[in-house]
Structure 1
């Protein structure tokens, strides 16, 4: 069921939600959180589709904030709020309100969103595009327990990653970090199978890919060893090579789906390592609402050195030093144990 409201208010939107629930005979129960999606008109459909798919695991009220840019001074001076209320099969699991903001209302989105939040339920804000410089200081970000950005969508992902590290606040997270969860799990499991000390690491993947950088930073943080970053045609992350005193451990994924895990002294194994879509990444982020300390720790690892060699873009074999390794504050645990934390 869809209800269109033109030049409306938050109060009228709440009434439309109640009206829609009564019409389909569904009470307002079972929703576990409010997901606020900040996007533009071009990306609104894809972002909402991903959120609807994720809502099958996390029933929620989804508030899609679309900030419309007015072209003329006359349009900019006229504040208006249009809304589309969706309940039932049109809203996935939960409820959906698409909010289109015009004029001065664009600068006060939090005033529109606040009355529509589910009472006594956590709030997650996801910027599908155009994330603010400091999500925790953003008016919408201040309403949330978790703030999700996507460095991959930025014009310069590496610079964006530096900015995220500079302003990190507990509760911040990034879909570029979620993308490497299967890689981190597979590498930790591989290191648990051997009793060896890791000496160096090489991470291979597309140039200007924040997930590749984050994986290198995580390995440097967990293992306290030098990490090299090499460039490949992709897609995304393609390989990680761990040099150990017992021989190399290699996780190689050339096609973006099936990877090969090679451990010295053991037969090679094919492992599923598919590139995941946005709905899976959002569903993963909604599983936890507490600060991600592992992400925070990785983000602090020499992020100022997130650079590539000058010829990295033209030479796939070019290798640049990854973020390096910061001097440990205390004696590190053995490499095998550190990685499995």
Structure 2
């Protein structure tokens, strides 16, 4: 069921939601959170589709905020709010309100969203594109317990990671971090099979300007305390991780974006499923936890600049030999496994 409202108010939108639920014979509200999606017309359809699919696991009220740019000075001075209310099958599991802001109301989107939030329910704000420089201080981000960005959609993802580190606040997270959860879990499990072995260096290979590869490299460097080299491959996405150990290398290699091969000294090669996930799966994972992600914060603040390049890998390894030996792999694996579970 869809209800179109032109030049409307938040009060009329709330009334339309109530009428829509009553028309469907379901007046009770059974949603667990409010998901606010801040996007543009170009990306609104894909973002809403992903949110609808994720809502099957997390029933929610979805508020899609689209800021329409006015062409003339007269239109920019005139504030107008148009809305499309969807309930029932048209809204996945939950309710959807598409808000189109025109004119001066664009600068006061929080005043439109605030009356539409579910009472006593967590709020998650997601920017598929065009995230603010400081999500926690953004007027809409300030309403949320969890703020989701995606550095992959930025023109310079590596520079964006540095900005995210500088402005990080508890509750911030990024889709680039969510994409590497299966990699972190698989690497932690591999290290558990090599108790007591020492890791001396690591290398992460992936496409250029891939923030997930940078984050995975920073996570390994932060957790293992060893030099980590970031190398460039043809993709797709992340392609390989190599951990140098006293017993021989541990290699997790994925060349096709779907199936990976885990190679360890003294053991047969194993094929493991490591496919690239859809946005709906990533969003569903993000909505499973609403508390601050300390592991993400620690990896992010490690800093891209501290990662090595292939040309600097040898000097870094030599410097590592002169320093005290790194922590045993057993301890590092336990830390990694705990971090991956978060």
Q: List aligned pairs for 1:285-304, cutoff 5 A.
A: 285-304=286-305
Aligned-pair Cα RMSD in Å? 1.8
SS in 1 for 2:261: strand
Q: Does 1:250 align with 2:275?
A: no
Q: Does 1:69 align with 2:69?
A: yes
SS in 1 for 2:218: helix
Distance of 1:129 and 1:88 partners within structure 2: 28
Q: 1:339 aligns with which of 330, 336, 341?
A: 336
* 1:157-214, Cα deviation, whole Å (9 max, x unpaired): 0111100000000000000000000000000000001121111000000011100000
Distance of 2:88 and 2:303 partners within structure 1: 48
Distance of 1:121 and 1:42 partners within structure 2: 29
Q: Which has the higher helix share?
A: 2
Count of aligned pairs between the two proteins:
327
Moved over 6 A (4+): none
Cα displacement (A) at 1:121 = 0.2
Cα displacement (A) at 1:302 = 2.9
Distance of 1:10 and 1:36 partners within structure 2: 15
SS in 2 for 1:340: helix
Unaligned stretches of 5+ residues in structure 1 = 310-317
Distance of 1:131 and 1:228 partners within structure 2: 29
Equivalence for 1:157: 157
Equivalence for 1:48: 48
Preserved CA contact (<8 Å) 1:240 1:250: yes
SS in 1 for 2:108: helix
SS in 2 for 1:83: strand
Unaligned stretches of 5+ residues in structure 2 = 321-325
Cα displacement (A) at 1:305 = 4.1
Distance of 2:174 and 2:266 partners within structure 1: 37
Distance of 1:39 and 1:137 partners within structure 2: 18
Distance of 2:29 and 2:85 partners within structure 1: 17
Q: Does 1:274 align with 2:271?
A: no
Specify whether residues 319 and 287 from structure 1 end up closer, same or farther in structure 2 by C-alpha distance, changes over 3 A only.
farther
Equivalence for 1:315: none
Preserved CA contact (<8 Å) 2:198 2:327: no
Preserved CA contact (<8 Å) 1:229 1:320: no
Distance of 1:210 and 1:166 partners within structure 2: 16
Preserved CA contact (<8 Å) 1:197 1:335: no
Cα displacement (A) at 1:90 = 0.2
SS in 2 for 1:81: strand
SS in 1 for 2:302: coil
Q: Does 1:265 align with 2:266?
A: yes
Distance of 1:169 and 1:100 partners within structure 2: 29
| TM-score, structure 2 as length reference | 0.92
Distance of 2:271 and 2:95 partners within structure 1: 41
Q: Does 1:58 align with 2:58?
A: yes
Q: List aligned pairs for 1:130-169, cutoff 5 A.
A: 130-169=130-169
Preserved CA contact (<8 Å) 2:253 2:261: yes
* 1:40-83, Cα deviation, whole Å (9 max, x unpaired): 00000000000000000000000000001111111111110000
Cα displacement (A) at 1:26 = 1.1
Q: Does 1:100 align with 2:97?
A: no
Preserved CA contact (<8 Å) 1:205 1:233: yes
Preserved CA contact (<8 Å) 2:208 2:232: yes
Cα displacement (A) at 1:319 = 5.2
Specify whether residues 33 and 319 from structure 1 end up closer, same or farther in structure 2 by C-alpha distance, changes over 3 A only.
farther
Equivalence for 1:226: 227
Equivalence for 1:9: 9
